[in-house]
Amino acid sequence: MNNIHIATIIIISANVIISLKGFNDFSFFEKYKFNIGGIRRGEQVRMVSAGFLHADMSHLLFNMLTLFFFANVVINEVGVTRFVIIYVVSLILGNLLSFYFHKDEYQYSAVGASGAVMGILYSAILFYPDMGLYLFFIPIAIPAWVFGMAYLLYSIYGMKKRLGNIGHDAHIGGAIGGYALTLLFAPYLLETNWWIVALLAIPLIILFVMHKLGYI
């Protein structure tokens, strides 16, 4: 693995510093977390700041480890500037999708870099769909494209059933950001990896159809 890029170090450091501040300062955490009521009062900074706060240390560690392992894949393919764009846009799209689905739930709150990290992960999957992912101590590598499809479908199911204390919609919004921007920055993937582009579009189409039909 290549040395971690300075941009990744800066992003991880910002997440760690701001999250630790939030762990130890309740008023800070409440002021900058994603909250529908606060955003509807005009506190738009929450759309971005929430992406640097985490619920606990395990939440922070999981997101930052995922970013650490996949950041260089994306940087090596599209460059550091576009990597940062994918990260930030995926973060914002994840929160925008959460806002869209929960806009009338004034108490709804969320935190975490999951949307941004999912954008980076899905970008990496588009470039290297056959790379192996080891999950939850499973000794057999799972092809990245299988994980990508399965996770999006699970997130759609989680949205519908409201499973756990997880922002499934933010994950999907982030994945959409990573998917769309990667194809914008590397349109040759539509030819070289057309099959994975098509497969990863299927869950997004399912989400759109289910929403139109009123199931989500």
First to last CA, the chain: 41
| pLDDT at residue 14 in the model | 98
Q: Rounded to an integer, what distance in angstroms lies between the CA atom of residue 74 and that of residue 30?
A: 33
**Out of 49-58, 143-152, 157-166, 193-202, least confident range:** 157-166
The continuous run of DSSP H or E covering 133 comes out as strand 132-133
Token pair listed for 208: 């759109």
Mean pLDDT, rounded, of the chain? 90
Structure-token match 């289910």, residue found: 210
Q: How many helices (H) and strands (E) would you count in the chain?
A: 11, 4
Confidence band for 152, pLDDT divided at 50, 70 and 90 = confident
**Alpha carbon separation from 173 to 117, 119, 179, 191 (Å, rounded):** 11, 8, 10, 25
Residue in 29, 50, 46 with CA at minimum distance from that of residue 37: 46
| pLDDT at residue 188 in the model | 96
Q: Which domains does the chain have, with CATH numbers?
A: 6-212 (1.20.1540.10)
Q: Rounded to an integer, what distance in angstroms lies between the CA atom of residue 124 and that of residue 145?
A: 10
Helix (H, G, I), strand (E, B) or coil at 110: strand
Q: Rounded to an integer, what distance in angstroms lies between the CA atom of residue 44 and that of residue 125?
A: 31
Q: How far is CA 147 from the centre of its chain?
A: 14
Report pLDDT digits (tens) over 155-211: 888 777 766 556 778 889 999 999 999 999 999 999 999 999 999 988 888 888 888
Residue in 122, 105, 133 with CA at minimum distance from that of residue 173: 122
Burial of 104 (0-12, 13-18, 19+ CB in 10 A): exposed
Q: Rounded to an integer, what distance in angstroms lies between the CA atom of residue 66 and that of residue 54?
A: 14
| pLDDT at residue 160 in the model | 76
Residues 6+ apart with CB under 8 A from 90: 115, 116, 117, 118, 119, 120, 173, 174, 175, 176, 177, 178, 181
Q: Average pLDDT of 67-81?
A: 96
Structure-token match 């975490």, residue found: 112
